Amino acid sequence: MTDTNTEIKQTIDASNVVLFMKGTKEMPQCGFSSRVAGVLNYMGVEYADVNVLANEAIRQGIKDFSDWPTIPQLYVKGEFVGGCDIITEMTLSGELDTLFEENGVSFDKDAADKIREANG
């Protein structure tokens, strides 16, 4: 395993929820990263954010690690969940709530319901 893969694995293992994104959760640097961070922030999910723009090795390494070509990438309890489109669909269908519940990740259920109401 390369040093980059080791670093990625350690980052994923260190937190229940990790978002590899362009920018930070406070200041996303692309619309897709902003959408996923916005959902997590609104739902009150505690998560680690990794700014791939700050490290080219991580930026390419996470794509190779997950075999997924785009950023952002969300991991829950060490498992790759998906990118922006998948997270958006899971949020609207309630699947993300279920995933968080099954993995003991706390979130604001009312906020999740409000997202669905606003987009229903």
Which residues fall within 8 angstroms of residue 78, CB to CB, at 6 or more apart?
12, 13
The CA distance from 98 to 29, in Å, is 28
The neighbouring-strand residues paired with 64 are: none
- DSSP β-ladder status, 17-21 and 79-82: unpaired
CA 3 to chain centre: 22
The CA distance from 15 to 70, in Å, is 21
How is residue 67 annotated by DSSP?
T
The token duo for 41 is: 């922030």
Query: Is 30 one of the annotated binding-site residues?
Result: yes
Binding site members = 30
Binding site members for [2Fe-2S] cluster = 30
